[in-house]
Structure formats: C-alpha cells, structure tokens
Amino acid sequence: MADTRIRSRFELTGRVAVVTGSSKGIGEAMARGLAEFGARVVISSRNQESIDAVAAAYRADGLDATAIACHVGDPDDRRRLIEQTVATYGRLDILINNAATNPYFGPVEGLPPDAYQKTLDINLTAALELSNLALPHLRKSGTGSVIHISSIEGLHANPNFAAYNISKAGIIMLGKSQAREWASDNVRVNVICPGLVKTKLSRALWENDQLAKQFTNMIPLNRMASPDEIAGLAVWLASDAASYVTGGTFVADGGMLG
Ligand SMILES: NC(=O)c1ccc[n+]([C@@H]2O[C@H](COP(=O)([O-])OP(=O)(O)OC[C@H]3O[C@@H](n4cnc5c(N)ncnc54)[C@H](OP(=O)(O)O)[C@@H]3O)[C@@H](O)[C@H]2O)c1
C-alpha cells in the first residue's frame, strides 16, 4: 500500500467542528469540506429550517452533521451552541467564526452608531466570545483549531464599508492575539481573508452587471470565487497538515491585492 504519511495529515476523522453561519455561502462550503474529510460538523445559523436542511443533505451523502441554531450576537445562543455541541459529540476540536453582517453601505461620516455597533457585535465580539466558550474544549482536544473568517477588506479599506472594514481588521488582530496566548495549549488560531465570493452577502456587487464587471476587472483571475474555492484553506488550517501554522492570515482573492 502506498505511503500516505502526508495525505493522512488532512484527515479529520474523530474531530468535531462548529461553523457559524453555515446554512449557505462560504460557511456551508467550509462545513462540507470538513465533513468530507471526516469531521462531525455542527451546522449553525439563525434559521433552524435552513440548517436542518443542510444537515439532512450532508447525512444523505453519508456525512456526519447536526444542526444547532445560534444568532451569534446573542450571548445565550452562543453558550447553547457550544454546550449542545459538547453534549451531542462529547468534544470540540474546530471552531470557525464565519457569520457576519454588513448593514450599512455609505460614507464613513454618515455611519449610524447603531449600525456600527451591530457590525462590531456580530463580526468581531461574537468571535471573541465564542472562542472563549470553546477554549476549554479546544485545550482538551490537544489539536484545537480556531479559524476566523475576515476579508480582504480587513487588509485594504473598501470605500463605503467602514464598519465592515474595521470589524474585519479587528478579527485579524484577535486571531493573532489568541494565537500568541493559546499556542502553549496547542490551540492554533488562523484567519482567512476571502476576496470577492459569489454569495448572498456580496449580492449587491454581482447582481448589477456593470458593477460586477468593474469588480472582476480588478481581479487578476478575472472572476469571482465560488464558496467551494475557499473551503480547502479551512480544511487545511483545521487539520494536522497545518500543525505548525498559527497566527497566520491567508488571502484567497484571485490575486486582487497583488
Ligand atoms: N462573499 C464575499 O464576497 C466575502 C468576501 C470576504 C469575506 N466574506 C466573509 O465570509 C463570511 C461568510 O459570508 P458569505 O458571503 O458566505 O455570506 P452569506 O452567503 O450571506 O451567508 C452568511 C451566513 O451567516 C448566517 N448569519 C448571518 N447573520 C448571522 C447571525 N447574526 N448569527 C448567525 N448566523 C448568521 C446566515 O444564515 P441565517 O441568515 O440563516 O442566519 C448564513 O448562513 C463572512 O464572514 C463574510 O464577511 C465574504
């Protein structure tokens, strides 16, 4: 039999993963990727019906998935997500903080304080709080991995997206800070910065043909990504194939930032 010394490092059998915002888009693709490599995955979003449908579709394909609803801005929901995961599977090895919002598009001087606060609460504070709730279980795991989903907007300011840009820059530094402090427990923390991915969140940018053309012209690969094209990074970062990788920021943007 061929030696699979390196290939087997990608294997996630026996690991349990929570992916927030995994009813659709990038979160769904990452959860699917983890499950295809053997992880038991918790599908989560605000909508029970849609996460039940995703988990059922995975199970129909022979994958292991459970649906637990969680509005990441709600402290009780966050606690319940982690507690129910551990009650169901007895462990937690991988946390992907993916759910995000962008309620305001407009100039920074007109940014309403409530939209600013909501963006920070959902995109940044929730990731901090969920990580803290998961930490005791990730420590026990021995191979804990936290992955935050930022954006190229965390590295490069997109005009009219100030609150989103700030939240996505913040989550990069959250990941770096956690990585420094949690490495001694072998809990690794990394950040993924996708470029333009065709999902509901980015709909305003691709539904309008002219705007879509303008954006794709700025991308050397000359197209938007599909959510599946982000999943491989998440599988790698979650697995032992990335066992020496922590505190990193990984861009998948079709070459846009150059
Ligand atoms: N699409 C892009 O071009 C792009 C680029 C860079 C970075 N990103 C980042 O990638 C991540 C995923 O975005 P996406 O484009 O895949 O978005 P999407 O297709 O709109 O999916 C968002 C997911 O998050 C869930 N969600 C939204 N608000 C939530 C909340 N408060 N609590 C829990 N779940 C919530 C949604 O489900 P429910 O509505 O059922 O709750 C859904 O499952 C985000 O962090 C986003 O900032 C996206």
pLDDT at position 59, please? 98
Contact of 162 with 152, CB cutoff 8 Å: no
pLDDT at position 191, please? 99
Asked if residue 72 has its Cβ within 6 Å of ligand 1, the reply is yes
**Beta bridge partner(s), residue 189:** 146
pLDDT < 50: residue spans in the chain? none
Task: Please report the DSSP string for 100-154 in residue order.
Answer: ------S-GGG--HHHHHHHHIIIIIHHHHHHHHHHHHHHHHSS-EEEEE--GGG
Fold of 13-195+227-251: Rossmann fold (3.40.50)
The single residue listed with the structure tokens 């349990």 is 16
In the chain, where the domains are located: 13-195+227-251
pLDDT at position 2, please? 85
Asked if residue 41 has its Cβ within 6 Å of ligand 1, the reply is no
Distance (Å) from CA 101 to ligand 1 centroid: 7
Distance (Å) from CA 176 to ligand 1 centroid: 22
Amino acid at 85: T
Q: What are phi and psi of 68, to 5 degrees?
A: -135, 120
pLDDT at position 133, please? 99
pLDDT at position 155, please? 98
| CA-closest residue to ligand 1 atom 41 | 46
Element containing residue 41 per DSSP (H, E): strand 40-43
What is the three-class DSSP state of 75? helix
pLDDT at position 254, please? 98
pLDDT in tens, 149-158: 999 999 999 9
Asked if residue 21 has its Cβ within 6 Å of ligand 1, the reply is yes
| CA-closest residue to ligand 1 atom 1 | 197
pLDDT in tens, 65-79: 999 999 999 999 999
The yes-or-no answer on residue 164 being catalytic is yes
Query: Given 58, 89, 104, 164, which residue is catalytic?
Result: 164
